[in-house]
Chains A and B, each alone.
Chain A
């Protein structure tokens, strides 16, 4: 068997994590109109101001056109055929009802049994340890004044905070998908860290068990008040329950003076088959504002799933001396396409940004980096460093780089480095001559390539990311 064919087998391991469960649903009829939005908002028990905001967003969305500038090819989405509200009534009663292949993946990732149940959407009984752990966490956070709840709860319980910050970073008119999300978002996360508080633990969606069916149109809002710190982990390396093909999430981050937000993502959704059929379309708007001086926002993402990824976590560096960072690993295999990158908007003086993007393409995967560094006239002494590296496995995949640069201040310093490399037969032979089998050799080379980004992940997350990468690259060798 040729080297390339073997490598393809390794990287093309079937996504054996997908599964379907029959659920009795409380479902809105397909289509989107004002009535559906009112129905959805009522179901969620929202106050009138929120309903009105949604309707306003819906009218903005109706007038917008779907963007087509990304380096992506996909069948158009029929937005009127989607059902925008489906609250699951029944969950699998035990792990016995969950696909054994999923359980195998959990086992490989070393996820404890009770946590597996949460991930698989099994209704968790209140006596289980993990739940009391969650409760303990919540109590501890509450004592420190940290609010960590679902966005629905926040709309109900903290309307002033939500009204002040929701849509403040990503306005409902920002783009087509953000407008759609603003109209129909189902749930998501809200975090508020008060002045001077350093959040003592990694916050994770995974521990926020009260809102599990948030996947399709997730809305996240994180506010770090002056001098505070929070690290938030979105998702988990394990396959989570997900039956929606279209995803359009919005994340807004606000860092006040001297505050720091670290936001880490592992995305492992169904990538579709080798022709790209059935995979998830992931159109996400993520943006943070460094509103106060000396503030910092750091995005780290590991993107391994989805058929289509359209995602540009960005930083608006408004406060003087504020810092924005973007660290990304995106892997595309089979027929996956990713158009991802970041925007760093420098407004304040002496602001600095770092971009490290690692794209891995295999089989027919297409990986594009798209990044904008914009230095406004006010951004005296701004600095940016960008590094975009691509790794190709085989010769049917592609890597593309679209760096945009706009500088209106002559004192700015901007550096951009880009490399493209291939896993060579000679590299593999060298490692195999030392007794390392082909699968481990490919994995070793890929891990080496991603090292800089994995180093940015919180430690436990990094271990999961490595396991996940191995799982993605796993396959039978000739």
Chain B
């Protein structure tokens, strides 16, 4: 078991969004969260990563046997939880490479490993950038500043590859991508797949699922998981929409 979410309630401001959500994420599996707008998909990823807007009012999130709801965002990240951002933020004057190396070495330090020196880091970063179809100059540019939508998403996947997280949350990684970028991003995602790693893919569309094969589909509606099924559930949703999903109780 990678993560167990039990009766989770959380709110943003005064508005309760997650209303007693239960979810289990298995090691080595790809889980997909689908659901209508406003169901709480993004709030779920924010709650898992410890976003400053979210307040947990009830329930628990147990990750690798440890409750994480009271942890700072960086403590969760260092333990191997990664989230790709829908809108990666710009940080002027901080080069992509400097940021990445700081992040990678913070994690290595936490794991008791030797930090990567500049040469080791660059070798790895260039290889992954090339794999994702990114120009090597992208490493020297300010973090996300002036990046196109596709470049930002590829850059998120580059960070994922470098950090080798255990639980990878991909929040609408496929939105706004052309077919080439979608393929590159999907290849990046598949490259890290292993028996020890879990994916949680939040998406509106099923086109990314043609490249990244899911194991479980969870339908989120009004702050709760209302249905869980296999990959075939995608076809049902495609055909009948979310309205057709009846709560399994």
**Which positions in A face B, CB cutoff 8 Å?**
3, 424-427, 429-438, 440, 444-445, 447-452
Contact = CB atoms under 8 A, between A and B. Distances in A.
B134 to A, nearest CB: 18
Given A434-B159, A434-B163, A435-B163, A445 B74 contact: no
B78 A435 contact: yes
A447 B94 contact: yes
Contact of B89 (A3, A430, A437): A430
B135 interface: no
Nearest to A448: B93
A432 B73 contact: yes
23 contacts: A426-B89, A427-B89, A431-B91, A431-B99, A431-B103, A432-B77, A433-B73, A433-B85, A434-B103, A434-B106, A435-B106, A436-B74, A436-B102, A437-B72, A438-B74, A444-B94, A444-B102, A448-B92, A448-B94, A448-B142, A448-B143, A450-B93, A452-B93
Contact of A445 (B49, B72, B77, B91): B91
Given A432-B77, A449-B93, 4 more contacts: A429-B73, A431-B91, A433-B85, A436-B106
A435 B71 CA distance: 12
B41 interface: no
A-B pairs with lowest CB-CB distance, top 10:
A448-B93, A448-B94, A434-B103, A435-B77, A451-B93, A432-B73, A430-B89, A432-B74, A435-B106, A435-B78
A450 B94 CA distance: 10
Contacts of B102: 436, 440, 444
A433 B91 CA distance: 14
A3 B99 CA distance: 21
A433 B89 contact: no
Contacts of B110: 435
Interface string B148-189: 000000000001000100000000000000000000000000
A434 B77 contact: yes
Contacts of A431: 91, 99, 103
B107 interface: yes
Given A444-B94, A451-B93, A433 B99 contact: no
Given A449-B93, A452-B93, A425 B52 contact: yes
Contacts of B142: 448
B217 interface: no
A444 B49 contact: no
A430 B106 CA distance: 15
B52 A444 contact: no
Given A425-B52, A435-B106, A437-B106, A430 B93 contact: no
Given A425-B52, A429-B51, A435 B103 contact: yes
Contacts of A444: 91, 94, 98-99, 102
Contact of A436 (B52, B89, B103): B103
Contacts of B91: 427, 430-431, 444-445, 448
Contacts of B92: 448-449
A438 B74 CA distance: 8
Interface string B44-87: 00000101100000000000000000001110011000110100
Nearest to A391: B92
Residue picked from A427, A430, A440, most chain B C-beta under 10 Å: A430
A424 B53 CA distance: 13
A146 B136 CA distance: 47
B52 to A, nearest CB: 5
Nearest to A424: B89
A328 B176 CA distance: 40
A447 B93 contact: yes
B88 A432 contact: no
Contacts of A450: 93
A435 to B, nearest CB: 4
A280 B120 CA distance: 46
A448 B98 CA distance: 10
Contacts of A429: 51-52, 73
B97 to A, nearest CB: 13
Contacts of B89: 424, 426-427, 430
Contacts of B107: 435
A440 B163 CA distance: 18
Nearest to A440: B102
B52 A3 contact: yes
Contacts of B51: 429
A431 B77 CA distance: 10
A426 B52 CA distance: 9
A272 B91 CA distance: 31
Given A444-B91, A447-B94, A449-B93, A437 B85 contact: no
A352 to B, nearest CB: 25
Contacts of B72: 432, 437-438
B93 A433 contact: no
A325 B176 CA distance: 44
A6 B82 CA distance: 23
B95 to A, nearest CB: 8
A426 B91 CA distance: 11
Nearest to B87: A426
Given A427-B89, A444-B102, A433 B94 contact: no
A451 to B, nearest CB: 4
Contacts of B73: 429, 432-433
Interface string B13-49: 0000000000000000000000000000000000001
A426 B51 CA distance: 9
Contacts of B163: 434-435
A433 B45 CA distance: 12
Nearest to B98: A444
A90 to B, nearest CB: 46
Contacts of A434: 77, 82, 99, 103, 106, 159, 163
B72 to A, nearest CB: 7
Nearest to B53: A425
A3 B88 CA distance: 20
Residue picked from B93, B102, B106, B159, most chain A C-beta under 10 Å: B93
Interface in B108-133: 110
Contact of B94 (A437, A445, A452): A445
B221 to A, nearest CB: 27
Contacts of A430: 85, 88-89, 91
A282 B82 CA distance: 48
